[in-house]
Amino acid sequence: MWGRDLSWRLNGPNNSTWQKQCNHCHHLDLGINLTPESPESSYVAMVTAVNNLGSASFTFPFTFMDIVMPLPPWDIKIKFGNASVSRCSLQWRDEDKVLLNRLRYRPRNSRSWNMVNTTNAKGRHDFLDLKPFTEYEFQISSKLHPNKSIWSDWSEALRIQTPEEEPTGTLDVWYMKQNIDYNRQQISLYWKNLSVSEARGKILHYQVTLLEVAGGKATLQNITEYTSWTWVIPRTKKWAVAVSAVNSKGSSWPTRINITDLCEAELLVPGQVSAHSEGMDNIMVTWESPGKAAPAVQQYVVEWRALHPGVVMQPPVNWLRSPPDNMSALISENIKPYICYEIRVHALSGGQGGCDSTRGNSKHKAPLSGPYINAITEENGSIFISWDEIPAQEQMGCILHYRIYWKERDSNSQPQLCEIPYKFPPNSHPIDSLQPRVTYVLWMTALTADGESAPGKKREFYLQGKVNWSTFVAPSICIGIIMVGIFSVHYTRQKVFVLLSALRPQWCSRQIPDPANSSWATTYPIMEEKTQLHVDRILTDWPTSEEPEPLVISEVLHQVAPVVRHPLRPKWPEKGRGVQGHHPSEEDSASSPPHPRALTAEKGQLVDLYKVLGSRGPHSRPGNPASPLMVLPVDYLPTHEGYLPSNIDYLPSREAPITDPLEELEPQHISLSIFPPSSLHPLTSCGERLTLDRLKMGCSSLML
C-alpha cells in the first residue's frame, strides 16, 4: 500500500496499543518486543495510507505463535558407528520449545537437495541412505509449532565425507594380444576406473592374476596402480586373467577373461564397418551383423585408438560395449578434432570373436606437408621408393591416398603421377615406367577428404637400367642351333678342325714327353750298352715322283760308349745336287764287327719306341730337301732351339777331333743305342741294304 503518509497501529492484550507513522515508506519497525508469556495472545495490526485522493486502511489479526521464528540450530555434527556409512547419526542443538525440524542434504557435486522432516527429534537424526566415500553437505531448520510459527533460517552447512566401503561391481576389462615369435606372445590388459558409487572409496591398487585355463592355478599375481598391464606369456598354453580393484576396506569381485584371438573367427566378422564425423568431438561408427552367425553374437565391442605413426609408446586404447541388436555406436571419449583414429568393431560370442576395422576423424582438412622420400633404390630395372610418415600433428585427419610425382630433370612437361591407397605399414612403392639412363625428379603429396597437401621435399635419381638378357639369350640359342647343324656334317667339321689347327699358336703345341720319366726307365735303369747302332745321318729327300725312294739304314755296332759328334756349321748341298744316302766306310766297318747273334726280337721283349726319336730340323719345311731326318740318342730332349741332352753324364768330355775339313760337308755320325745287346743280331740275310718294306714292328717284338 503506497501513500503519501503511512500510519501503523498495533492493538494487543490488555488494551495495549503501539502506533507509528512514516512518509513514503512501505516497511516500518515498531521497535517493540513481544514476550511469549501467552503464546495464544491476540494482536490486531492496522495500517492506514493517506494521499491527495483520500485514505485507505488494512487490518491483520494474528497471535504470538503465528509470527514467532526460532533461532537456527547450531553445533551440528555427524558420527559414524564402527566407521561404517550404514550407521550415520546427525546431531545438533536447538531451542527448547522447538517441535519440528527439517533437514536437507546433498552430495557436494549435486544441485538438488534431499529433504527430511522430523518431529521431536531432540537434536538427532539417523541416515540410512548415504553413499560411502561421498562428500555431503547438511543444513537444519527449526519450528515451534506444527501449524503456526515460522521456520527458522537454515543453519550453517556441515560438509563431511562418508567412510569407505568395500568396492562393488566389476571392472570393465579389455585386452590386446600380439605374437612376438613362434613361442611367445605379449598381452596388454586395459580396464576402466570404477565409478564413485562402485569404488566406494579410494582405489589403492589393482590386483592382476594370471591363470592357466587347464588347471586353474594362479601362475602370477601382480599389483599395479595403473589401469593397464602388459606381460609376455608362452603361446603353447591357454591363459586367463582376473583383475580386481582394492581399497582400504577390501577388493571388488574379480573380472575374469580368457585370452583368445579376438579376430580369429571368420564367421563372426562384422560387415561394412564405417565411421563418419558427428560434430567436433564425436564419431559415429556403423556396421552390419555377421550374416548367419548374427544370432550367436552376445555383444559388440567398439575399440578406437589415435594413430601416431613412428611413436614407440602408442596411446592407450578406448572401447565401449554395445548390445547385440545395436549396429551403431557414437564414440566421444578422448576424441579430438584433426586426429585420425583407428576404429575396430569386435563381435564376441563365448570365447570366440571376429573383427573388422576402419579409420575415422571428427574433423579434417588438407595435410600441412607432404611425405619425405628417404630412400630410392633400383631393383631389376625399376625403382623402389620409401618415405617417412607425416607427423601426426601435420596430418590434420585421416590420410586417404599418397601421390608420387616424377618428371625428367630440366623438363617443362607435366609430371607423371601414381596414386597409392594409404597403408600403414609399409611405406614403400615400386615404379616401373621410368626410362634407363635418365635423371628424374621425384616428390610426394598426401590427401585427406578435404584436399591435397603441399609437395614434399624433391629428390633426384639417375636410373642405371638393367641388362636385357632376352636380347642376348634368343640370338645365342639361334646361333647354337645353327652351329650344331653345321658341325653335324662330317666334312664341315673336318674342315673347321683343320682351320683351327692352322691358326693354333706355337705355344699351344704339345710337347714330346721325356722318356726318362717313363715307367720303363724307372724299372730298367740305363746300362752302358756294349753294342750301339751307329747311324751316320739319314738324308731324306722329298720325292718328286709318285713312288718314294727307299730309305737306306746302315747297321753299325760299336763296343764303345755313345759319342755325339757336333757338326761344325754344316753346309747344305748346292742347288741341283742330289742328296745321297750315307754309307759307312770300311774303317767304320772294321771298327764295328758284326754281332754274332742275328737281329731277332725275343718273345715278350718290349721294345720302347721312345728309344729312337726322329725329328726334322727346326728350319725344315716340305719344300726344302736339305732338311735331314736325324736320329738322336734317348738322352736328348727337344727344345724350341733344338735338342739338349737330358743326362749330362752321357755327354763326351771333349769334342772329337776334326781330321779333314772336307768332313764338314759330310753328314755327321750319331751313335744311338735303341736295343739291349741281347736283342740285336746281324742282319746277314738282308744284305747290306735294308728297306722299310722288309721291316715290321709290333708292340712287343721287332720282326723282319
Report the 3 state secondary structure along 179-200: ECCCCEEEEEEEECCCCHHHHC
**CA distances in angstroms from 342 to 228, 264, 308, 582, 644, listed in the order given:** 19, 19, 10, 113, 94
Res 245: pLDDT: 95
Average pLDDT over residues 286-309: 90
pLDDT at site 173: 94
83 versus 571: which is more confidently predicted?
A: 83
pLDDT higher than 50, residue 48 = yes
Neighbouring C-beta atoms of residue 190, cutoff 10 Å: 20
Write out the three cell numbers for 490.
662330317
Supply the pLDDT for residue 49.
Answer: 79
Report how far residue 197's alpha carbon sits from residue 367's, in angstroms, rounded to the nearest whole number. Answer: 44
Kindly indicate the confidence band of residue 675, based on its pLDDT and cuts at 50, 70 and 90. very low
Q: Is 469 left (phi over 0), alpha (psi -120 to 50) or beta?
A: alpha
Cell numbers linked to 109: 557435486
Residue 461 scores a pLDDT above 80: yes
613: confidence class by pLDDT, cuts 50, 70, 90 = very low
Look at 669 and 547; give whichever has higher pLDDT.
547
Q: What's the DSSP call for residue 147?
A: S
pLDDT greater than 60 at residue 389: yes
Choice between 578 and 343, residue whose per-residue pLDDT is larger: 343
Q: How far, CA to CA in Å, does 252 sit from each of 80, 203, 205? A: 23, 10, 11
CA atoms of 42 and 274, how far apart (whole Å): 80
Give pLDDT tens digits for 481-514: 887 877 777 777 777 778 777 777 666 655 566 6
Mean per-residue pLDDT for 312-328? 86
Model confidence band, residue 256 (pLDDT cutoffs 50, 70, 90): very high
**Degrees to nearest 5, angle at CA 566 with 560 and 568:** 145
pLDDT at 383 over 60: yes
Lowest mean pLDDT among 234-238, 288-292, 330-334, 620-624: 620-624
**331: Cα separation from own chain's centroid:** 33
Q: Decide which of 428 and 359 is more confident.
A: 359
Reported as a pLDDT band with limits 50, 70 and 90, residue 632 is very low
More reliable by pLDDT, 494 or 98: 98
Beta strands in 453-550 (DSSP E): 459-463, 532-535
Q: Which three cell numbers stand for residue 419?
A: 596414386
Average pLDDT, the chain: 74
Residues 328-337: what's their mean pLDDT? Answer: 91
Mean of pLDDT values over 216-225: 86
Residue predicted with more confidence, 58 or 564: 58
Name the residue among 272, 253, 268 with its Cα closest to residue 351.
Answer: 268
Q: Does the pLDDT of residue 1 top 80, yes or no?
A: no
Which residues touch 519 (CB under 8 Å, ≥6 apart)? none
Cα→Cα distances 391→294, 311, 320, Å: 40, 10, 28
Tell me: the pLDDT tens digits for 434-454?
888 888 899 999 999 888 998
Q: Which amino acid is located at 557 in the chain?
A: L
Mutual angle of helices 470-487 and 490-503, in 10-degree steps: 110
d(CA 346, CA 328): 12
Please name every residue paired with 135 in a beta bridge, in sequence order, or none if there are none: 161
Of 467, 376, 388, nearest in space to 430 by CA: 376
Average pLDDT (330-345) is: 92
pLDDT tens digits for range 151-191 = 999 999 999 999 999 999 899 999 998 888 888 999 999 99
Task: Provide the pLDDT for residue 85.
Answer: 84
Asked if residues 270 and 347 have their Cβ atoms less than 8 Å apart, the reply is: yes
DSSP type of residue 294: G
The single residue listed with the C-alpha cell 703345341 is 509
Q: Give 9's pLDDT tier (boundaries 50, 70, 90).
A: confident
Mean pLDDT value across residues 27-49:
71
How would residue 533 be classed by pLDDT, with cut points 50, 70 and 90? very low
How long a stretch of residues is the chain? 704
Q: Which residues contact 568 (CB under 8 A, 6 or more apart)?
A: 658, 664
597 alpha carbon, distance to own chain's centre: 95
Question: Which pLDDT belongs to residue 175?
Answer: 92
Rounded to whole angstroms, how far apart are CA atoms 670 and 566?
Answer: 9
Helix (H) or strand (E) holding 589: helix 586-591
Cis peptide bond upstream of 415, omega within 30:
no
Q: Supply the pLDDT for residue 388.
A: 87
Question: What b/e string do you get for 264-286 counting C-beta neighbours within 10 Å, with b at 16 or more?
Answer: ebeebbbeebebebeeeeebbbe
One-letter amino acid at 290 equals P
386: nearest Cα among 408, 371, 407, 406: 371
pTM of the predicted structure, to 2 decimals: 0.56
What would the mean pLDDT of 399-412 be, rounded to a whole number? 89
pLDDT of 597: 40
Grid cell, residue 571, equals 753346309
Please compute the mean of the pLDDT values over residues 631-653 and round it to a whole number: 45
Helix-then-strand count for the chain, H and E? 7, 42
Q: Are 68 and 36 in contact (CB under 8 A)?
A: yes
Question: What CA–CA distances, in Å, run from 159 to 91, 93, 152, 162, 202?
Answer: 13, 17, 20, 10, 19
Residue recorded with cell 585386452: 175
Residue 473's pLDDT is what? 74
Q: Whole-angstrom Cα distance, residue 53 to residue 310?
A: 90
* Whether residue 668 has pLDDT greater than 70: no
Full DSSP string of 278-292:
-SSS-EEEEEE--GG
**Of 692, 656, 675, nearest in space to 538 by CA:** 692
Q: Which grid coordinates are listed for 555?
A: 747297321
